Structure 1
Amino acid sequence: MDLARRLFRFIGWQHAVARPDAFQHSHLGKLPNEIILHIASYLPLESAASFSICCCRFYNCMKTEYLPSLKLADPSIQENFLALLEHDLPMHILCPDCKELHSIANAFTHVPSRRHFSSTSTQRPRLQCWKSDTQHDIRRSIHTGFCSTIFRMAMKTHRLGRNSRQLLQFLSYEPRTTHHRGFIEQNQAAARIVDDSLLVREQTVFMVPSSQRIPIPWHGFINICNHIGFPGFLDLHRRGAVHIPQANELGTFVQSRRGLICCKHCYTEFRVDFKSYGESGNAMFVTRWMDIGEGRDPKEVKFTSRHVNLYQETWAKVNFRGGSICAAFEEMPAAEFVVDSLLSAREERVLCKGSNLPWPEDVSVSCDRVERSFGVMSGRFVPF
């Protein structure tokens, strides 16, 4: 099937249709074919090809002039042509990785948890945009259910004034509970668009038995972004991210003494808080907010700053007001946000039941011998 037929099928022209009445009465429609061809000769190839498929008459006039040439043209010209098409296709986006148009109606096939089924059922390989998300470790820098393709779909839908609710749900996930040895972990994430930018909030709660000296798990890690991570929970203390209280100091609630901490290299901020649930255990809350950007330009710094880069000396610095992302997402001053307000009564009950696996008998967690190598000043990490 030639390029023209595939294009017509894609945009919904199953067969030649009658020319609209408005075109018959337009000045352009009254021009002879020779003039139409002369006008097209002054256009770049991608624009001339787009011009040739805007109606049946122009296609019949120019079908042998530009579309065959476009098929053999440089990939950058073909991408420019697709960008022109995408402008007038509200239900499609141009994928910068795949160099093809993706249908917003099929957004569910891009959800990370469904990719295996969507790729095997159609006998097609994994898409390049999926591979790009893996290469740039989007699961770590944003969250495990995030997809850059759906992000771009949601932002285009929003810019056109359409309902983007379902797409935002694809970029979020409901509370998930994981039982570890001796403690329980609960995660949830939500996405929303504020001032034409996508904001994401993810919260992780760890419930530790009240019998433990300090309210942190005995093993595990925390990733804030691709620039800030804690390989072990004691690294929270080592890097000065948080004052870890003794269990008997908690009382009912301990708000983070550090407040919000901002990444210097991407638009991310986070905080760590603790709460006592009495005999049910003590909980540690890790909440982070991220500004992902507008999704127009694949090189937009708010998105590309999250990409993996092992060479720290190449990390560029970003500048934003601490607390601004949290305040925009929560629609309240950052200082007024209460971390346990995200938990429903049911989720609290699940946490308070604790893990169904016992805490290791020979493991005790303490900060007594952990020396700090960093501190927090003006909401940023600084070495001692």
Structure 2
Amino acid sequence: MIRVAIVGVGNISRLHFEGYLTFPERCKVVALADILPERAQEGITHHNLTGARAFSSHTQMLAEMAGEIDLVSICTPPYCHAQIAIDCLKAGCNVLVEKPMAASLEECDAMLAAEKESGKILSVVAQNRFRDPIQAVKKVLDAQLIGRVLHAQVDSFWWRGHSYYDLWWRGRWDKEGGGCTLNHAVHHIDMLMWMMGLPDKVTAVLSNAAHDNSEVEDISIAVLQYPQGALAQITSSVIHHGEEQQLIFQGEKARVSAPWKVSASISQPNGFPIRNEAFEKELDDFVASLPTLKYIGHTGQIENVLTAVETKGRPAIDGVSGRATIEMITAIFKAGSTHTAVSLPLAKDDAFYTVEGILKNTPRFFMKTTSLETLGGDITVGSDYKMKL
């Protein structure tokens, strides 16, 4: 029986509770920690966690229960991910940390060093990899069915009202670590890195178009240059009504996307296209033949992490993957802040490698004017990628 603790009992924690409670024969939530201890106690009561204990900090929890905890889910604001993860790993606990992995590459490297030293597992939440439409596109690309990818389009479209940034830690570079690029598009950037890897060069523009109570960007547009001339574009936004989200890959032979859509062209003698319906059917049939996932989203990733803990194996999404996503986001911040093209990989002496460097070199679009302890209402967690746009 894997003994689980959850640190941070805010909105996103409900998906972790849901995941762990799906497997009562394999794991048990034994501790909750939150800076609002009453919220931790409410979590115990609401989920009927018999015997679980509530704490006001992860340090108190580790001091009293480290030997009774096998796995810690970290669901706190980004600025404290690294320290909590490092403390838990050093205390002998495996760690599943919410996105984004950390606020800087320096912190990511410290987390990876702690993982190596401890011999435990560090996994970073990227739950959309555990969705059938995303798996389908990945398998099509890995099989090179559409040939070399020539262009990728990533639309990380979200919408957040003005009051979204009234929460105490949001809208601040020193607490949130960035805006929509880090905390919303992180999902789609992770998927792009998983499918295509890091590019050679990045250019970007950052802006805040609609949230004058926030220091950070609410939209960014980046262009990525890959070897052999391939390009990718990433739009990260919290100003798009409808929240349509998609990843499109234009290959030599066809276009595929999540949500699933396929289009293939062949050339007439004059170079103009005609539709290749036979190849479109071949791709549709390939995707239709793929097995479906038993568990999806957070529950799918949690099941994978539980298996890794049980077997002493590696999780599907590890800290190295999480770091690659942060490197891409850091490059976007650097390119947009300095108005220059940024080459990858970033070196450890780069001005944007540390939190201090990011705070020094990024723009403050507006002054944060409100700092509320909590906000009410439901949250949205993104597309299921099943419906065609």
Same fold (TM over 0.5): no
TM-score range, shorter chain: under 0.3
Query: For the pair shown, which has the larger CA radius of gyration, 1 or 2?
Result: 1
Name which structure has the greater RCO, CA cutoff 8 Å, separation 6+: 2
Q: TM-score, normalised by structure 2?
A: 0.24
